[in-house]
Structure 1
Amino acid sequence: MSTSDPGDRRPGPATGIEAISAAVLAMSRQLEVSEVLQTIVSSARELLGADYAALGVPDDHGGFAQFVVDGISEDQWKAIGPLPRQHGILAVMLREATPQRLGDVQQHPRFGGWPRAHPNLGDFLGVPVLHGDEVLGALFLANDSDSCVDGRCAFTDRDEALLRLLAAHAAIALTNARLYERSRELTIAEERARIARELHDAVSQKLFSLRLTAQAAATLVDRAPGRARAELAQVAELAAEATDELRAVVVELHPAGLDEDGLVATLRSQAEVLNRAHSAHVTFACHHAHPLPSAQEEALLRVAQEALHNALRHAGADTVRMDLAGGDGEGGAHGRGAVLRVADDGRGFDPDAVRRAGRHLGLVSMRDRARAVGGTLHITSAPGRGTVVEMVVPGG
C-alpha cells in the first residue's frame, strides 16, 4: 500500500494537454500492477488538484484486492485500519459503472460512514475504470469537507471529463500491466518445468546408474576385488558427473539478480561457473554494452542460458564463447540496443531437420523471448560445424 502526506498545501490543478499527456506517459512507463495503480492515483490527484485520491480494485468476495491512496500519510493509513468493503458510494460506482459527482458525499443516501481516523471528506468525484464491460476498479477524488460551501460541489464538468479520460487510459495501462505480470508468471512456470525436466533427464538418471554400479561393486568385493575396484572407480566418475549436472541446473535456477548486478556481471558469472562445472572452455567478453530495459536484459539472459545449455549438454562442445556488444544491429558498437552471440564448436545440427522432426532444443522458446522484447534471433548451424546463436535487441 502506497501513501503520501498531503503536507501543508493542496496541489494546484494542472491544465492543458501537456498535463494529461504527462499523466498518461507516467502510467505507460510502469509494468508492475502496484506501480501502475499508484501512478494512476497520484496523477489524478495532481491533475485535478484534489486533497485526496484513491483507487480500489475489487475482489470476488465483496472487498478489495488492492486499494491505493494518495494524500494520506502512512500513519493515517495505518490508523484507518482494514481495507474498506464494497459498500456505500464505492458499491454504486462498481455495480452501476457510472460516474458520481457529489457536493457532499456524506449526504448521499448510500453513505455508510467511515472509521474514526478517516479524513472527513466533502465534495467527491468518482469514475469507474472500465475495460469493455469489465469494471477494473473505482477511481475517486475528494476534498476535505471544510472546502465545501453550502453543499456545492467544487468539482466541475471539466474535472469529470478529465478524470474519465484519465480512467480510460488507466484501464489500458492496468490491463497491460496485468498481462505483463501474467506473462512473467508463465515464464517462471516454464522455467520450473524445464528445470524439473533437467533434473529428471540428467541428474536422476545419473544417480540411478550410480546406484546400480555401487550395488554391482558390492557383490564383487569378495569374489572379484579387481572388478570391484573398477566398478568403484565408475561410481566416483558417475558421482562427479551428477554433481556437475546438478551444479549447472542450480546455476540456471538461481542466476545473479539482474536488478542488483546488471546483465554484464550476470553473464560473466554464468560463464565463470559453467567453465568450472564443465570440461568445456566457456568464456565471456563484453564490448561497449550499456544498461537496457529490464525486460530486454532478462530476455538476453534467458536466451544466453538456453544457448549455453544446448552447447554444453547436447552439442558436446569443447569451447563456448559468449559475447555481448552494444549496438543496434548494424549500428555499431556505440549504438543503442545490444547484440548477444553464443558460439560453440560442438557437433552442430541441421536446423531444418530438427524442425521437421519436431525437436526444438529450446529454439522456439528463444525466438519467443527475442520477439517479446522487439528483438530478433538468428541461429546458424550445420552437422560437424558448431552452432552460433545471435540475438539482437533494438535501442529505445
Structure 2
Amino acid sequence: MAEPVVADGANAALHAVSSAVLAVTRHLSVHEVLQVIVRAAARLLDARYAALGVPDEQGSFAEFVVEGVSDAEWEAIGPMPRQHGMLAAMLRDGRPMRLADIRREPEFEGWPQAHPVLKDFLGVPIRDGENVLGILFLANRNPRGFTEADQELLTLFAAHAAIAITNARLYERNRELTVVAERGRLARELHDAVAQKLFSLRLTAQAAAALAPRDPARTVAELAQVERLAAEALAELRAVIFELRPADLADGLTASLRKHVEVLDRAYDTRVRFVCAEPVDLAEDAEAVAFRVAQEALFNALRHAGARTVDVHLGVVDGRAVLEVSDDGTGFSRGDQQNGLGLASMRERARSVGGVLTIDSAPAAGTTVRLEVPR
C-alpha cells in the first residue's frame, strides 16, 4: 500500500516544481525563481512558513527569500540571518534536518522579537552535485508536523529546484554575455563607420581653414566636401543607433519598444511616438516577432516614406495583442505590397507565431502596419 503513496508524492513534487521551471522559461531573474520555488514548497507540504537561503563564500547567506511573512513583518524582524542557530548548523552540515520542535534543539538561540513562532521544522539542501545552491526550510505544519515521507518529498522537490536555479543562473549569465557582445559590435561599427568619417571631416575642415585667406574658390569646394562628409557620418550614426535594441528583450516587449521608439525619436527629425495603456505580455517567440515587425515597419517609415510623424500603438483587443505602426508618409500601391520593403518577411514572421499581419497603404495616404498575435 505504501508504493502508491510514494508515487502520488512524486507526482505532487513534479507538479509543484513545474511553476519554478515555468519561471525560468519566462526568463525571470534568479531572485524571482527563488520566490517561485519557496512558494511551491510551502504549498506542496502545506507549511505555514517557508524560506530559501542561498549561501555565500563566507559561510553565511547571500540571499534569503521567505514565504508566509509580509514585507512589514520582514522589515520588523531585522537583518538577514547570518551564522547562528539552526540555520548555521544546516549551512555547516548541509544535510536534511527534521524536527518536532525547533525550540528544544541545543542549537536553538531564539529569534528577534518580531519573528513568528516556529515549532515543527524541516530543512533540506538544494544540491548541484557536491555544490549546495541553497537550503530550503519549512516550518509549522500543524497539527501533525513533518513526517519522513514529507522529508523524502521535499528532497525530491529540491532536486528539481536545483535544475531551475542552475538554468536561471545560466540564463542571466548568457544575457550578460549577449549584452557585452552587442556593445562590442556597436563599438566596432561606430569606430569603423562613423569615427573614420569624422576624422576625414576634421582634416577637410582644417584644409578649408588654411585655404580661406588665399584661395576662396578652393575653400568653397572643401566646405562642400565637409558638408558631404558630415551628412554621411550622420547617416552612418543613425543606422547604428537604429540597431540599438535590447539584445534579448530582457525588459519585456512593452518596455523594449518604448526605449527603441525614444532612441529613434532623438535620432531622426521625424516625430516618433509610442502609446501603450498597460504592459502587454507574450510568449518569448511572439515578443521577438512583434519587436522585429515593429523595427521593420519603423525602418520603412523613417528611411523610405518621408513621414513627418510615426505612431506605434501596442494594446490588447478581444484577447489578442495588437501592434500598429502608422505613418503619414508617401505610402505605396497595392502592387508594391507584394514585394520589397521587407513586407514578405514581416508576414512570414507573423505566421510563425500564429499571428496575422495586415498593411493598409496607398500613394500619398501613409501606411499602417497591424500585427495581431494570440496571447
Measured against the shorter chain, the TM-score band is 0.5 to 0.7
SS of the aligned residue for 2:120 comes to: strand
Distance 1:102 1:121, change over 3 A: same
The equivalent residue for 1:30 is 23
The equivalent residue for 1:20 is 13
Between the aligned partners of 1:183 and 1:20, the Cα distance in structure 2 is 29
Between the aligned partners of 1:127 and 1:207, the Cα distance in structure 2 is 62
Shift of 1:235: 1.2
Between the aligned partners of 2:216 and 2:117, the Cα distance in structure 1 is 89
Q: Report 1:242-261 matches (<5 A).
A: 242-254=233-245, 259-261=252-254
State the superposition RMSD in angstroms.
3.9
- Name the amino acid aligned to 1:133: E
Distance 1:53 1:197, change over 3 A: same
Identical columns (%): 55
Q: Deviation per CA, 1:22-71: give whole Å up to 9, x if none.
A: 21211111123122111111111011011100001111234322211101
- Name the amino acid aligned to 1:155: F
The equivalent residue for 1:321 is 342
Selected match of 1:132 from 129, 134, 138? 129
Q: Deviation per CA, 1:57-88: give whole Å up to 9, x if none.
A: 11123432221110111110111111111332
SS of the aligned residue for 2:116 comes to: coil
Between the aligned partners of 1:236 and 1:299, the Cα distance in structure 2 is 39
- Name the amino acid aligned to 2:217: G
The equivalent residue for 1:169 is 160
Between the aligned partners of 1:247 and 1:86, the Cα distance in structure 2 is 54
SS of the aligned residue for 1:129 comes to: strand
The equivalent residue for 1:58 is 55
Count of aligned positions: 295
Q: Tell me, which stretches of 5 or more residues in structure 2 are unaligned?
A: 1-7, 270-279, 300-339, 358-373
Selected match of 2:38 from 32, 41, 45? 41
The equivalent residue for 2:67 is 70
Between the aligned partners of 1:302 and 1:60, the Cα distance in structure 2 is 42
SS of the aligned residue for 2:53 comes to: strand
- Name the amino acid aligned to 1:134: N
Q: Tell me, which stretches of 5 or more residues in structure 1 are unaligned?
A: 1-14, 278-289, 310-318, 341-394
Distance 1:300 1:137, change over 3 A: same
TM-score by length of 1: 0.64
Shift of 1:91: 2.4
- Name the amino acid aligned to 1:83: M
The equivalent residue for 2:331 is none
Between the aligned partners of 1:89 and 1:97, the Cα distance in structure 2 is 12
TM-score by length of 2: 0.68
Q: Report 1:233-244 matches (<5 A).
A: 233-244=224-235
Between the aligned partners of 1:73 and 1:36, the Cα distance in structure 2 is 18
Q: Is the 1:326–1:337 contact (alpha carbons within 8 Å) kept by the matching residues of 2? A: no
Between the aligned partners of 2:207 and 2:293, the Cα distance in structure 1 is 42
Comparing 233-242 and 319-328, the one that deviates more: 319-328
Q: Is the 1:123–1:155 contact (alpha carbons within 8 Å) kept by the matching residues of 2? A: yes
- Structure 2 residue 93 is the aligned partner of structure 1 residue 103: no
Q: Is the 2:100–2:119 contact (alpha carbons within 8 Å) kept by the matching residues of 1? A: yes
Selected match of 1:212 from 203, 225, 228? 203
Shift of 1:16: 4.9
The equivalent residue for 1:373 is none
The equivalent residue for 1:280 is none
The equivalent residue for 1:285 is none
Q: Is the 1:326–1:338 contact (alpha carbons within 8 Å) kept by the matching residues of 2? A: no
Q: Deviation per CA, 1:226-269: give whole Å up to 9, x if none.
A: 11111111112222222222223233224697724399x78x96
Q: Deviation per CA, 1:156-181: give whole Å up to 9, x if none.
A: 01111110011000001111111111
- Name the amino acid aligned to 1:294: E
Selected match of 1:80 from 57, 67, 77? 77
Distance 1:95 1:299, change over 3 A: farther
